[in-house]
Amino acid sequence: IDFGISRAVDQQTLTMTGRVIGTPPFMSPEQLQAPRGVGPRSDVFSLGTLLVYAATGHGPFDADSPYITAYQVVHEEPSLGAVPDALRAVVEPCLDKDPERRPSVDELLVLLRDLPSDLGGTATGEP
């Protein structure tokens, strides 16, 4: 998994003013639309996408180009059919388009702690 957080050795900072840093399949809608207004719930969204990828080998917004992917992140529902049901109950709220409807970091921690240790392959939805 490429977290996209590398920087040149001689650079003092990871980000630059006016530049979007990130990998579209793992970026939140608000990060793509208004990067200056992101908060912790943007990270919750990104973690949700990462958990889907780790569980299935596919992101919830996979597409053939970063532009289509970015559009899907902002406008389409995530593809979660292959995600095991117990994990889906955690990641689905993380991927809400509205940051205020996503769990807080503390709420997410509780949800993750309550997951069974063996998720198995129990997805009931379509891939």
pLDDT digits 0-9 by tens, 111-121: 999 999 887 76
The pLDDT of residue 18 is 56
Question: Nearest 5 degrees, angle CA 107-CA 21-CA 79?
Answer: 55
Give the pLDDT score at 21. Answer: 67
Mean pLDDT to the nearest integer, 54-59: 94
- Tokens read off for 111: 């949800």
For 41-78, b where at least 16 C-beta lie within 10 A, e where not — what string? bbbbbbbbbbbbbebbeebbbbbeeeeebbebbbeeeb
Domain 24-113 has what CATH class?
mainly alpha
Structure confidence at residue 14 (pLDDT): 47
